[in-house]
């Protein structure tokens, strides 16, 4: 148990150092020596855990995804029937809590590999949820679930990066989610100001 705690502390120190340095200098300019010096970890200890800086960045991204999945799990039950906006709200809150890590990943540092990992994992998760929701509600999707998931995740990642890059939230998270929910239910044509379908709001109002 003590060894596990030491391992976690070491990985957190190295991951934190990586994120700090990526935001300061960019991933391409970093060396393992830079990371170990900032994290106050011996070079030999670094290589006992990671093959190199790319491996470390991949681990940071996996940890971010794991944390996000844990936070989404309890709110996904409320979205079993339809769109509630609660998962997106939780995502924005996670970005607020882990802003620097999201900045490092969503900027495409590391030749875009961490960003691709993030998008692939989120797309796979979303596709499973879309398929399961369709089955639970006995409906037939009009668009392939995998394609729909990619479109949805692409839009969400753009919003998450915009959110992460702000030092202070540009609008309250709840207001941002309300606008995104309107967009999901009513469409881009309606959101642009043109007449759109008369879709009831989630709270039952017009």
Residue with tokens 């996000």: 68
- Assign residue 71 a region (left: φ > 0; alpha: ψ between -120 and 50; beta: otherwise): alpha
pLDDT at 168: 86
pLDDT, one tens digit per residue, over 139-183 is 898 999 999 999 999 999 999 999 999 988 888 999 999 999 888
- CATH code: domain of residue 71: 1.10.357.10
Question: Which residues are within 8 A (CB) of 162 and not within 5 positions of it... i.e. 6 or more apart?
Answer: 170
User: Is the model's pLDDT at 118 over the cut of 90?
Assistant: yes
Q: How confident is the model at residue 34 (pLDDT cuts 50, 70, 90)?
A: very high
Q: What is the predicted pLDDT for the residue at 70?
A: 94
Q: How far apart are CA 132 and CA 23, in angstroms?
A: 38
Distance CA 139, CA 132 (A): 10
**More confident site: 198 or 59:** 59
Q: Is residue 42 part of a domain?
A: yes
pLDDT of residue 105: 98
Does residue 2 have a pLDDT over 50?
Answer: no
**Is residue 48 within 8 Å of 56, Cβ to Cβ?**
no
- What pLDDT shows up at residue 189? 87
Cα torsion 185, 78, 144, 69 to 10°: value is 120
How confident is the model at residue 73, as a pLDDT?
Answer: 87
Tell whether 119 is covered by a domain: yes
> CB under 8 Å to 134, separation ≥6 — which residues?
140, 141, 145
Higher pLDDT, 156 or 185: 156
Asked, for residue 144, whether it belongs to a domain, the answer is: yes
What pLDDT, on a 0 to 100 scale, did the predictor assign at position 81?
A: 59
Are 129 and 152 spatial neighbours (Cβ–Cβ below 8 Å)? no
66: nearest Cα among 8, 140, 138, 22: 8
Q: Write the Ramachandran bin of 191: left for phi over 0, alpha for psi from -120 to 50, otherwise beta.
A: alpha
Distance CA 122, CA 205 (A): 31
For the residues of 108-127, what is the DSSP string, one character each? TTTTTHHHHHHHHHHHHHHH
Q: What total of structural domains would you count in the chain?
A: 1
Considering the entire predicted model, what is its pTM? 0.88
Over residues 26-36, the mean pLDDT reads 97
Full residue range of the structural domain in which residue 104 is found: 2-191
pLDDT value, residue 184: 85
Q: Is residue 26 part of a domain?
A: yes
Query: Does residue 201 belong to any structural domain of this protein?
Result: no
- The residue-averaged pLDDT of 3-26 equals 93
Pull the structure tokens for residue 4. Answer: 């596990």
Q: Is residue 141 part of a domain?
A: yes
Instruction: Classify residue 201 by its DSSP letter.
Output: P
User: Is residue 206 pLDDT above 50, yes or no?
Assistant: no
Among 31-45, 79-93, 128-142, name the most confident range.
Answer: 31-45
């Amino acid at each position: 148990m003590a060894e596990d705690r030491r391992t976690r502390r070491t990985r957190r120190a190295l991951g934190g150092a990586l994120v700090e340095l990526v935001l300061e200098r960019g991933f391409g300019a970093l060396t393992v020596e830079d990371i170990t010096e900032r994290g106050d970890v011996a070079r030999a200890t670094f290589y006992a855990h990671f093959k190199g800086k790319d491996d470390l960045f991949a681990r940071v991204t996996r940890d971010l995804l794991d944390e996000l999945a844990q936070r989404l799990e309890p709110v996904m039950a409320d979205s079993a029937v339809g769109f509630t906006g609660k998962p997106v709200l939780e995502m924005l809150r996670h970005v607020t809590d882990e802003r620097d890590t999201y900045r490092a990943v969503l900027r495409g540092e590391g030749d875009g590999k961490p960003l691709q990992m993030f998008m692939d994992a989120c797309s796979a998760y979303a596709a499973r949820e879309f398929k399961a929701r369709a089955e639970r509600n006995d409906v037939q999707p009009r668009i392939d679930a995998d394609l729909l998931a990619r479109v949805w995740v692409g839009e969400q990642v753009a919003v998450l990066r915009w959110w992460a890059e702000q030092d202070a939230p540009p609008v309250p998270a709840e207001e941002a989610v309300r606008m995104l929910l309107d967009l999901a239910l009513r469409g881009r044509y309606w959101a642009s100001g043109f007449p759109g379908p008369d879709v009831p709001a989630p709270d039952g109002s017009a």
